Amino acid sequence: MATIKEAASEFLAHKRIAVTGVTRNPKGHGSNAVYQRLRDRGYDVFAVNPNADEVEGDKCYHDLASIPGGVEAVVIATKPERAEATVQECHELGIRHVWMHRGPGKGSVSPEAAAAGRKLGIQVIDGGCPLMFGPTADFGHKCMRPILSLMGSVPKKVS
């Protein structure tokens, strides 16, 4: 079992990352903030939304399988009810790193999807935000991390 810092570092070491739930109306959407920051920090990042062809001025993919060359990791930033299907798609595509985004609210974490992913050999970070760690972090997210950790929105350990 890894600490959240170790798991986040391993996740962010991957350079081809998909972000699900990126929307055409980005105001207030955590998925779009994650997508933008990864893109701005030099990651090969891919927006995934089955209902959009373009977001943030970039091509949007309807599913993970449509991304040319595939990805190494996925940020799930959709409703939790959709997380299990995304985890299953990750398994089918050989993607072994998943981060279920969660800020102060309910976020995208599905305990059932996290358990299913772990059974399938996927490392699942079930909470927090990639923008709280490493090369993607900013001051505001760094400040939120300890508060959300105390609230239980950021896991201490990841398996």
Buried b / exposed e over 4-42, threshold 16 CB at 10 Å, is: beebbeebbebeebbbbbbbeeeeebbbbbbbbbbbeee
pLDDT of residue 26: 64
- What percentage of the chain reaches a pLDDT higher than 70? 97
Average pLDDT over the chain, rounded to whole? 93
CATH value at residue 148: 3.40.50.720
pLDDT of residue 96: 97
Whole-number Cα distances in Å, 116 to 7, 31, 122, 145: 18, 22, 9, 26
pLDDT digits 0-9 by tens, 102-111: 977 788 999 9
Element (DSSP H or E) covering residue 112:
helix 111-119
Residue numbers in the chain where pLDDT is lower than 50: none
Structural domain containing residue 15? 2-158
Number of folded domains that form the chain: 1
Q: What is the pTM of this model?
A: 0.94
- What percentage of the chain reaches a pLDDT higher than 90? 74
